[in-house]
Amino acid sequence: MKTDTNNATTTTVYEVARVAGVSPATVSRYLNGTAKISDEKRASIEKVIEQLNYKPNVLAQSLKMGSSRTIGVLTQSLVSGYFNEAMTGIDEAMKDAGYVPLIMSGHWHASEEAERVELLIARRVDGLVILTGNLSDAQILQYARRVPIVAFGRKLEGKQAFGFCLDNYQAACDAMDYLIEQGHRRIAFIEGPPEQEDARARLAGYRDTLARHNIKVHPKLIVPGDFQESGGLLAVNQLLETGQRFSAIFAGNDLTAYGARLALYRRNIRVPEDVSIIGFDDLHSSMCTTPPLTTVRQPLFDVGICIGQIMLKMINHEKFTVDIPALSLVVRESVRRIG
């Protein structure tokens, strides 16, 4: 009942073999270089392939070989500069090995993430990359029994599973040290979603560094955010409306910093003359904000490369060691020395 989608009849190894006067096995051997072929047949096959514009059906190959040369990537947002920088690295690291990423987004929603993972597995991806998200470690380990997994944004070690994260805590400490070194004492902090490990680590870095410098942690200076611009905007409004005094803001991430900066702009509070801002992530656009944002650089591209390399090793059952990329403070112009 169903008509062919493609008008042109697809050419197959059989077709090529027939026209070239050889067996399909030989054509396959030619394609994969699996065995020596007489020059005569080789020439013939080459000609026919050219002439018929034959392209092997990857689906059939995958089925037969038990490997789709595809690796599934579960991201949380197709539009996030943060995730997409990592995606680029993954793609870069795997493409030379002939792997193609199949990307799906879980939108930070555990049940949707689980659904996507099942979809990816059903498509027989050779490996799975999970970029943060809300799945439990137990669930991931469970999936790892079906497919090798490398996760980013959580520590994980298992039979076919490996996960790592960057040292957000240390980087937050460094950022705070910098702020304090620049003379800031009353520093506001805009949180990220508490269910995200990274967000908690940054907050911890904030608190601990203050404590280490014997600066009182003022609870009113810690305001909730959501890692989005709107959260940053609201947070600063709240800070201002409740009359807090602060000379600097440590935003949970760059997006938050953007929102915070806008809230300040609205009230004619200058950055960095009146208030300093420091972010976290170093999104591409942070280079061009007004003023350019001082922030913590997350080397996401390198993370992606790293993920890809581990994935490759795992797929090939090779041992691997990991060199986790380091976070670093990038000083631009949104923080001013005071006092």
- Interface residues with DNA (CB under 7 A) are 1, 10-14, 21-29, 31-32, 34-38, 40-42, 55-57, 60-61, 63-66
Residue 1 binds a copy of itself, judged by CB under 8 A: no
Three-class HEC string of 71-105: EEEEECCCCCHHHHHHHHHHHHHHHCCCCEEEEEE
For the segment 30-59, give every residue that binds a copy of itself (CB under 8 A).
55-59
Where do we find the tokens 């987004």?
105
DSSP label at residue 314: H
Nearer to DNA, 37 or 102 (CB): 37
Strands, E assignment, 38-99: 70-75
Q: Taking CB under 8 A as the rule, does residue 261 contact a copy of itself?
A: yes
**Are the C-beta atoms of residues 261 and 295 closer than 8 Å to each other?**
no
The answer to whether the beta carbons of residues 327 and 170 sit under 8 Å apart is: yes
Q: How far is the CB of 209 from a copy of itself (least distance, A)?
A: 27
Judged by beta carbon distances under 5 to 8 A according to partner kind, the member of DNA, a copy of itself, none in contact with residue 138 is: none
* Nearest to DNA of 26, 253 (CB atom): 26
Among 34, 38, 111, 146, binds a copy of itself (CB under 8 A): 146
34 binds, among DNA, a copy of itself, none (CB under 5 to 8 A by kind): DNA
Q: How far is CA 206 from its chain centroid?
A: 24
Single-letter amino acid code for the residue at 116 = R
Write phi, then psi, for 206 (nearest 5 degrees). Answer: -60, -55
215 lies in the binding site for a copy of itself (CB under 8 A):
no
CA atoms in the 13 A half-sphere facing the CB of 320: 23
| Total of chain residues touching a copy of itself, rule CB under 8 A | 60
Binding status of residue 139 toward a copy of itself by CB under 8 A: no
Tokens of 237: 């409004």
Query: Pick from 156, 117, 114, 151: which is nearest to 132 by CA?
Result: 151
Positions that interact with a copy of itself (CB under 8 A): 3-8, 55-60, 62-63, 66-68, 78-79, 81, 84-85, 87-88, 91, 100-105, 118-119, 121-124, 126, 145-148, 160, 229, 233, 258-259, 261-262, 265, 284-285, 287-292, 315, 317
